Amino acid sequence: MINAKVISIGDELLIGQVVNTNSSYINAKLYSNGFNPERVITIGDNEKDLLAELDDSMRNFRITIITGGLGPTHDDITKPILVKYFNDELILREDILEFVRNFFAKRNLPMPETNVGQAMVPSKSKVIWNHNGTAPGIWIENDDRVFIAMPGVPFEMKAMIENDVIRMLKEKFASELDYVLKSKTLLTTGIGESLLFEKIGDIKSIIGNNKMAFLPSPLGVRLRIDVTGKSESEADRIIAGIEGKIRSRVGEYIFGVNDELLEEVVGALLRKKGMTLSTAESCTGGLLSGRITDIAGSSDYYAGGVCTYSNEVKSGFLGVKEKTLEEHGAVSEETAKEMAEGIRKKFGTSAGISVTGIAGPGGGTESKPVGLTYIGYSDESKCYALKFNFGDNRERNRIRAVQACLNLLRKELNEK
Amino acid sequence: MINAKVISIGDELLIGQVVNTNSSYINAKLYSNGFNPERVITIGDNEKDLLAELDDSMRNFRITIITGGLGPTHDDITKPILVKYFNDELILREDILEFVRNFFAKRNLPMPETNVGQAMVPSKSKVIWNHNGTAPGIWIENDDRVFIAMPGVPFEMKAMIENDVIRMLKEKFASELDYVLKSKTLLTTGIGESLLFEKIGDIKSIIGNNKMAFLPSPLGVRLRIDVTGKSESEADRIIAGIEGKIRSRVGEYIFGVNDELLEEVVGALLRKKGMTLSTAESCTGGLLSGRITDIAGSSDYYAGGVCTYSNEVKSGFLGVKEKTLEEHGAVSEETAKEMAEGIRKKFGTSAGISVTGIAGPGGGTESKPVGLTYIGYSDESKCYALKFNFGDNRERNRIRAVQACLNLLRKELNEK
């Protein structure tokens, strides 16, 4: 396999001021094109560290991609160091200078003189054109290795990857790309990591020499399958085999694959069944309707919702009986049911969903601890509420409650 | 300076499926506590690479923090490798097992047997308790070096850093920490990066030899000031001087400092003024009430809200006149005003706020493009709506609309 290393340069990355999203982006592109990202290094604007990394790359990596340190100011060290390391010299490229001048002219700005330096590139390099900025990318080949330097500005770097870098890499390594890496992620919710692990059982017998990773979050556990095949279709076949075995064991918890969102899945189901939805939220305070309306076109099936933070609103607005609130409390099966029924009728939708719980940190008691949540569902044929406990962290239990509402809807709609 | 390296483990990070936010978080904490983050490495679930990194740490770094690979499943390699590298053995800690059992018991779940492994730790390590999960952290000292391993789940890792790791590091290296790094972030909203930059003027004359960074996001531009002092009080004095100069130029845009949230600031103002609030949302679909209710105790001042995604709900529910909707449309100054007035009266609160806009990607016209948004405000003495355009990206313009609602509330409440 053709392995790759990404070197991200910049003090702002090191001290945690900026999150390094460039390396994830680059690696996802490399990986999906059959290259194997093995390492990401973040270092400061520091000559010694970069030279050591170039040495390491010469020994261990076929592809090295450097981002950052290519701008026009004093702390931009990448170009001089590449020149030094490869015993090269900088030459002025008139075509780049012309491009940079135009870049400023188009914006009605004078070109600062420092930008002439942008047109200087190592004599033995190829140029990767930067259509979104003034610093060109640099492509250096050294026998069977490639070194690529690009600016750290995501908007500039991404266009260079899309337009040229991946294509150039595939050309360079065409004779060796005789395999395909593929991955697929199965998205589960409503089950914890260790229970999921147990239910799946002997993983080795399912995946063979391929890989599977468990990636937990408050939204659920993602299962990522990574396989290598001789061809696209072989890799697809292997993935399908593994996926089938996993689904036969824990299929009921899988709501989607790859980047799908549960709110998208639920929206598609509502659309398919020709149903409309309204929501009544207490503890989640609008996050559920926020998730539902994240999806463009959700107005086709979503009428709206209420956030009933006070009891007055619950009774005055949704028609939850005062007796119910008195006898059972706002956080109860009965209230959740009346909320779901109330919102469905008030908004005239085919289904209504409600959620009421103790988000915390205050408000918990022994019998009703923080995290206790009831989710109610109502349509014309039934009305019920389920009890959950989502733990004692306010932020997380709100996220988990919203996910559980959507998952309950998914299950209901699948049965329609 | 005491240097530090972060090793992030996980194939999901390497292939770009998950962005590495852990290392930024850790490094920001290290940096602000006087340590010097010099390197971040991301590697896969791979024994050889991790062993090589431990070798490098023994040669070059005082502090090494490893995240990931500590869970209960097959791909969790960190603990066995630490044991091997430091020639140690795993022992069962009854107190951890008890904690893990309780963790499941509290959630009314059976403890899967794989979790017994979580209670096994290297005999020469200290334990860093994990209050948000089942995998404990590991602290290993080797002469003047420290190796720390934590789970990769951000929620678990962050609590461990906050509660114990920074404190333990400061104790361990107390005799060497003879300088103080301090930073303060001023939070602005409602003004773009370049205009803010212009209004602040000559930065060098404000910050001297210290640092200032502009960090833009859809919520606003954060201004981060970093200073070094001989003592805590000297550093504080330098920061106060810089902050004063910035506030004198752009104070009206600053809503808070450091980790403060605009919804928190608004909540505190409502509480202080003895006012209550309700919300009527269209394009933001509940995100505004979601933000308001993120704050614990918000039920003291927030009665609730409606998400009126359909026109029927806008008129039938909020009392927006059908004539207004017909003549001016759902996205108009008039509708926004009637929504704010309607929700305030319906929910009986002292103020009401509304937002209606074209979130996109569909629904835009020449006269009402995607991103056009009206925010309405109503209290007993006034009612008005302001027009905004938040651009053509659905996700970002929803976020910006919510922030603008909160900022409008902040300004109104500050005048009360």
C-alpha–C-alpha distance, residues A40 and A17, integer Å: 18
Residues in A closer than 8 angstroms to B299, CB to CB, are 309-310
C-alpha–C-alpha distance, residues B309 and B117, integer Å: 50
Which of B11, B153, B286 shows the shortest C-beta gap to A305?
Answer: B286
Q: Are B26 and B161 in contact (CB under 8 A)?
A: yes
Say whether A309 and B313 touch across the interface (CB within 8 A).
no
Clarify whether residues B88 and B169 are in a common domain.
yes
Q: What single-letter amino acid sits at B208? A: G
Q: Write the CB contacts of A209 (distance below 8 Å, at least 6 apart in sequence).
A: none
Clarify whether residues A307 and A355 are in a common domain.
yes
> Among all chains, which residue has been given the structure tokens 């998205």?
A187
Q: Write the CB contacts of B14 (distance below 8 Å, at least 6 apart in sequence).
A: A27, A37, A38, A39, A40, B42, B43, B44
Which of B24, B134, B289 shows the shortest C-beta gap to A307?
Answer: B289
A89 pLDDT band (50/70/90 cuts)? Answer: very high
Say whether B19 and A21 touch across the interface (CB within 8 A).
yes
Q: Are A283 and A357 in contact (CB under 8 A)?
A: yes
Query: How high is the pLDDT of residue A312?
Result: 79
Residues in B closer than 8 angstroms to A405, CB to CB, are none
Instruction: Say how many CB pairs under 8 Å bridge A and B.
Output: 260
Query: How high is the pLDDT of residue A71?
Result: 67
**For residue A414, what are its two tokens?**
């699948």
C-alpha–C-alpha distance, residues A355 and A319, integer Å: 15
Q: How many CB atoms lie within 10 A of CB B249?
A: 13
Say whether B72 and A362 touch across the interface (CB within 8 A).
no
Query: How high is the pLDDT of residue A317?
Result: 81
Question: Å from B85 to nearest chain A CA?
Answer: 21
Query: How high is the pLDDT of residue A380?
Result: 95
Clarify whether residues A184 and A270 are in a common domain.
no
Number of H helices, E strands in chain B: 16, 17
pTM equals 0.80
Query: How high is the pLDDT of residue B314?
Result: 82
What are the respective helix, strand and coil percentages of chain A, to the nearest 5? 45, 25, 30
Residues in B closer than 8 angstroms to A406, CB to CB, are none
User: Chain B residue closest to A16 (CA)?
Assistant: B24
Burial class of residue B56 (count of CB atoms within 10 Å of its CB; 0-12, 13-18, 19+) = middle
- Rg (alpha carbons) of chain B, rounded to whole number: 26
Which of A27, A42, A281 shows the shortest C-beta gap to B40?
Answer: A42
C-alpha–C-alpha distance, residues B332 and B367, integer Å: 11
Per-residue burial over B193-224, b = 16 or more CB atoms within 10 Å of its CB, e = otherwise: eeebeeebeeeeebbeebbbbeeeebbbbbbb
Clarify whether residues B316 and B267 are in a common domain.
yes
Interface probe for B, chosen from A194, A205, A214, A311 (most Cβ of B below 10 Å), is A194
Q: Which A residues 344-363 touch B at CB under 8 Å?
A: 346-348, 359-362
Q: Which B residues 226-285 touch A at CB under 8 Å?
A: 279, 281, 284-285
- Crossing angle, helix B262-273 and helix B394-415, to 10 degrees? 30
For chain B, say whether A396 makes contact (Cβ under 8 Å): yes
Q: Which A residues 124-183 touch B at CB under 8 Å?
A: 183
Say whether B155 and A214 touch across the interface (CB within 8 A).
no
Strand A126-128, strand A90-92: pairing: unpaired
Q: Are B263 and B406 in contact (CB under 8 A)?
A: yes
**For residue A109, what are its two tokens?**
């700005």
Which is nearest to B69 in space by CA: B100, B43, B104, B105? B43
> Among all chains, which residue has been given the structure tokens 């017994």?
B116
Which of B223, B257, B291 finishes a domain?
B257
> Among all chains, which residue has been given the structure tokens 């080797």?
B142
Say whether B41 and A41 touch across the interface (CB within 8 A).
yes
Q: Are A327 and A301 in contact (CB under 8 A)?
A: no
Clarify whether residues A126 and A192 are in a common domain.
no
Query: How high is the pLDDT of residue A103?
Result: 83
Assembly ipTM: 0.79
Say whether B305 and A310 touch across the interface (CB within 8 A).
no
Residues in B closer than 8 angstroms to A359, CB to CB, are 293, 296
DSSP state string for A257-269: ETT--HHHHHHHH
Positive or negative: CA dihedral B292, B294, B299, B300: negative
Instruction: Indicate the length of chain B as a whole number.
Output: 416
Which is nearest to B358 in space by CA: B349, B346, B366? B366
**For residue B333, what are its two tokens?**
């100054």
Which of B30, B297, B310 shows the shortest C-beta gap to A362?
Answer: B297
Query: How high is the pLDDT of residue A109?
Result: 74
Query: How high is the pLDDT of residue A72?
Result: 64
Clarify whether residues A32 and A151 are in a common domain.
yes
Question: Å from B42 to nearest chain A CA?
Answer: 5
Question: Å from A93 to nearest chain B CA?
Answer: 31
Q: What phi, psi does A330 have (nearest 5°)? A: -70, -30
Clarify whether residues A165 and A221 are in a common domain.
no
DSSP state string for A186-252: EEE-SS-HHHHHHHH--HHHHHTTSEEEEEEETTEEEEEEEEEESSHHHHHHHHHHHHHHHHHHHGG
Clarify whether residues B164 and B235 are in a common domain.
no
Q: How many CB atoms lie within 10 A of CB A373?
A: 27
Say whether B155 and A293 touch across the interface (CB within 8 A).
no
Query: How high is the pLDDT of residue B113?
Result: 83
Which is nearest to B23 in space by CA: B33, B13, B11? B13
Say whether A193 and B71 touch across the interface (CB within 8 A).
yes
C-alpha–C-alpha distance, residues A266 and B130, integer Å: 35
Say whether B24 and A21 touch across the interface (CB within 8 A).
no
C-alpha–C-alpha distance, residues B286 and B284, integer Å: 6
Q: Above 60 in pLDDT, residue A40?
A: yes
**Better pLDDT: A185 or A311:** A185
**Better pLDDT: B298 or A180:** B298
Question: Å from B393 to nearest chain A CA?
Answer: 11
Q: Which A residues 18-37 touch B at CB under 8 Å?
A: 18-21, 23-31, 37
Q: For the ranges A259-263, A328-332, A347-351, B361-365, which has the lowest average pLDDT?
A: B361-365
For chain A, say whether B58 makes contact (Cβ under 8 Å): no
Q: What phi, psi does B156 have (nearest 5°)? A: -75, -45
Say whether A16 and B10 touch across the interface (CB within 8 A).
no
Residues in B closer than 8 angstroms to A310, CB to CB, are 299, 303-304
Which is nearest to B79 in space by CA: B142, B126, B121, B35? B121
Q: What single-letter amino acid sits at B142? A: N
**For residue A200, what are its two tokens?**
């799946």
- Residue B297 — left, alpha, or beta (φ > 0 → left; ψ -120 to 50 → alpha)? left
Question: Domain span at residue B289?
Answer: 262-415
* CATH number for the domain harbouring residue B253: 3.30.70.2860
Arithmetic mean of pLDDT, A64-72: 86
User: Chain B residue closest to A371 (CA)?
Assistant: B107
How crowded is the C-beta side of A339, counted as CA atoms within 13 Å?
A: 33
Domain count, chain B: 3
Query: How high is the pLDDT of residue A255?
Result: 98
Clarify whether residues A147 and A277 are in a common domain.
no
Clarify whether residues A192 and A235 are in a common domain.
yes
DSSP state of B295: S
Residues in A closer than 8 angstroms to B395, CB to CB, are 294
Edge-first strand order for the sheet with A277-281 is A383-389, A372-379, A351-357, A277-281, A302-308, B302-308, B277-281, B351-357, B372-379, B383-389
Query: How high is the pLDDT of residue B177?
Result: 87
Clarify whether residues A292 and A385 are in a common domain.
yes
C-alpha–C-alpha distance, residues B188 and B262, integer Å: 10
Say whether B17 and A185 touch across the interface (CB within 8 A).
yes
Query: How high is the pLDDT of residue B305?
Result: 95
* Angle at the Cα of A222 from the Cα atoms of A216 and A223, rounded to 5 degrees: 120
User: Chain B residue closest to A28 (CA)?
Assistant: B16
> Among all chains, which residue has been given the structure tokens 């929206």?
A267
Output the tens digit of pLDDT for each of chain B's 416 residues.
Answer: 899 999 999 888 998 888 899 999 999 999 888 899 999 999 998 899 999 999 999 999 999 999 998 876 666 789 999 999 999 999 999 999 999 999 888 878 888 888 888 899 999 999 999 999 889 999 999 999 999 999 999 999 999 999 999 999 999 999 998 888 888 999 999 988 778 888 998 888 999 988 888 777 889 988 989 898 888 899 999 999 999 999 999 999 999 999 899 999 999 999 999 999 999 999 999 999 999 999 999 999 999 999 988 877 888 888 899 999 999 999 999 999 999 999 999 999 999 999 999 998 988 999 999 999 999 999 999 999 999 998 878 988 999 999 999 999 999 999 98
Which of A209, A229, A257 finishes a domain?
A257
Clarify whether residues B84 and B150 are in a common domain.
yes
Q: Are A43 and B38 in contact (CB under 8 A)?
A: yes
> In this structure, what is the dihedral angle of CA atoms A110, A114, A118, A119, given to the nearest 10 degrees?
80
CA-based max dimension of chain A: 85
Arithmetic mean of pLDDT, A139-165: 94
Residues in A closer than 8 angstroms to B100, CB to CB, are none
For chain A, say whether B308 makes contact (Cβ under 8 Å): yes
User: Chain A residue closest to B225 (CA)?
Assistant: A17
Residues in A closer than 8 angstroms to B18, CB to CB, are 24, 215
**For residue A293, what are its two tokens?**
């309306």
* CATH number for the domain harbouring residue B172: 3.40.980.10
C-alpha–C-alpha distance, residues A110 and B2, integer Å: 44
Which of A257, A273, A293 finishes a domain?
A257
Q: Where are the alpha helices (DSSP H) in B72-137?
A: 78-85, 94-106
Mean pLDDT of chain A: 92
A289 pLDDT band (50/70/90 cuts)? Answer: very high
SS3 state at B329:
coil
Q: Write the CB contacts of A394 (distance below 8 Å, at least 6 apart in sequence).
A: A359, A360, A361, A370, B294, B296
Query: How high is the pLDDT of residue B315?
Result: 81
> In this structure, what is the dihedral angle of CA atoms B88, B92, B95, B99, given to the nearest 10 degrees?
110
SS3 state at B183:
strand
Question: Å from A130 to nearest chain B CA?
Answer: 23
Q: What phi, psi does B366 have (nearest 5°)? A: -65, -45
